[in-house]
Amino acid sequence: MSPEDPPENPFAAFTRALGSMFPGMDTGMPSGTGLPGTGQAGADPARQIAMAIASEGASEPNVDPVVRMEYESLLRVAELQVASCTGLTVARSGALSIRPVTRTVWASSSVDAYRPYLSKMAQLPTDLAGDLGDRSGLEIDGEPIDPDDPRGEQTLQWLSGLMAAMAPMMAGMTTGTMVGRLALRSLGTYDLPIPRPTGGPDADTLLIVSPNVEAFSADWSLPADDLRLWICLHEVAHHAVLGVPHVRHAIGDLLARHAGAFRTDPAELGDRLGLRLDDLPGLNPTNPDPAAGADALAHLQDALDPEAVLGAVRSPEQEALLPRLEALVAVVVGVVDHVMDTVGTGLIGSYGQVTEALRRRRVTTSDADRFVERILGLNLTQEQVDRGSAFVTGVVERAGEDGLALLWTEARNLPTPSEVDAPGLWLARLELPDTPSDD
């Protein structure tokens, strides 16, 4: 084959191989099966991956019906207490309900809440010719490609097509992997303070990951009933605060913009993919070797591991968004902790013991869990928790609970990052008349 000749359609072979490697994923080719062992044709890959990780390959027993009834009774107590303390409407569209579920069910139900953010981050660069510019990193058969060699353009075009075809797979892998990891540790719907979908029959349904709650109770020798009520208060308080329309919109918008601003470094991705194409003979468009395709696909699967691809530094756009996002999340966490302390102290006999254990758990996550938080743009460190607590304390000391309630009145009342660190300035601004915008 001469340098000017096009490759003999290796991309179609790759796509077929990719489809067999990740059955059920949208690789641009027909697929009649879901993930192995699921028995579901055309299943949502993100959901199936999340469920597989959450179950750890084993069947989970159903939640005891007695436990379900206990949670339903505790929910009514939590709902009344949170509504009385905050003055907020707890349910958005009707009656609030609660479902203690397995890790697998939580993962399946949570995919849609996280998909808008995680799938956006998995967008691979599809214009490598423009992104890599001088093509100085490309080699074929161990020899650098001359910038004027047509094989360089040919190779970059082929790789760009490869990235475009793999983007849906990456979105599914990323969302499924991250949600599956969260299911192994989460105690409820709002382990991370992320707004949930407001439409549909489950908009006012709180999920409790029963096996995780019971395991935590045993590990820390906590009274099971006290822990369950604490979890109910925590979930209801988050649901009420994140259900305030302008709070939900502000945090959801910042999370979406943060996700959309993720930029994969094409040069770094090229290094991970191995743009020395002689190392990937099965995928080399200038000299395809179908017999070696399986090894090349295994290399690609490893190179495109979501944690590796998403592990790059934040983009300038994300850095600009983080102060606002971190400030609002700190306030939400601070308010929820304040509600918990106000209500829980007189309601739960072992409140101090349970609270210490759960708040220590919140800020001592594993590297894998912290990675998920960082990718989403959250920063649930002790410093941020203390920051939110100091804001709430400062507001209540100066203006009481009525001052704190100003947060829920309108969007302009949400504090800026500077105001979170100076609650007196926030209160002073709210005392000023609202001036119309020049826009």
pLDDT number for residue 173: 78
Listed in sequence order, the DSSP H helices in 56-125 are 65-86, 103-121
pLDDT number for residue 103: 97
With cut-offs at 50, 70 and 90, classify the pLDDT of residue 265.
low
Q: How far is CA 278 from CA 10, 274, 307, 433, in A?
A: 15, 9, 26, 68
Distance CA(266)–CA(62), nearest Å, equals: 46
For residue 278, pLDDT over 60 is answered with: no
> Who wins on pLDDT, 265 or 432?
432
**What is the rounded average pLDDT of the residues 285-306?**
50
Could you tell me what percent of the chain has a pLDDT over 70?
64
**What is the rounded average pLDDT of the residues 255-263?**
84
With cut-offs at 50, 70 and 90, classify the pLDDT of residue 379.
confident
**Strands 139-140 and 143-144, sheet pairing:** antiparallel
Per-residue model confidence as pLDDT tens digits over 190-234:
999 999 888 888 899 999 999 999 999 999 999 999 999 999 999
For residue 185, pLDDT over 70 is answered with: yes
pLDDT number for residue 27: 40
**What is the rounded average pLDDT of the residues 418-432?**
94
**What is the rounded average pLDDT of the residues 42-69?**
89
For residue 381, pLDDT over 70 is answered with: yes
Distance CA(189)–CA(179), nearest Å, equals: 12
Poorest-pLDDT segment among 28-37, 61-70, 156-165, 378-387:
28-37
**What is the rounded average pLDDT of the residues 376-385?**
89
Distance CA(328)–CA(286), nearest Å, equals: 52
Question: Any residues with CB less than 8 A from the CB of 205 and at least 6 apart, and which?
Answer: 96, 97, 98, 99
pLDDT number for residue 26: 43
Per-residue model confidence as pLDDT tens digits over 313-367:
568 898 899 999 999 999 999 999 999 999 999 999 999 999 999 988 987 877 7
> Who wins on pLDDT, 82 or 124?
82
pLDDT number for residue 38: 36
Write out the H or E segment, with its range, that includes residue 209.
Answer: strand 205-209
What rounded mean pLDDT belongs to the chain?
A: 78
Q: How far is CA 275 from CA 103, 141, 156, in A?
A: 40, 11, 10
pLDDT number for residue 123: 56
pLDDT number for residue 266: 53
Distance CA(203)–CA(184), nearest Å, equals: 23
With cut-offs at 50, 70 and 90, classify the pLDDT of residue 433.
low
pLDDT number for residue 295: 56
- Among candidates 286, 294, 386, which has minimal Cα distance to 333? 386
- Cα torsion through 64, 181, 36, 45, rounded to 10: 110
Classify the C-alpha dihedral 422-424-427-429 as positive or negative: negative
Q: How far is CA 95 from CA 19, 73, 241, in A?
A: 44, 14, 16
Distance CA(141)–CA(284), nearest Å, equals: 10
For residue 21, pLDDT over 50 is answered with: no
pLDDT number for residue 269: 52
Residue 36, both tokens: 């192995």
User: Can you give the pTM of this predicted structure?
Assistant: 0.76
Identity at 108, one-letter amino acid code? S
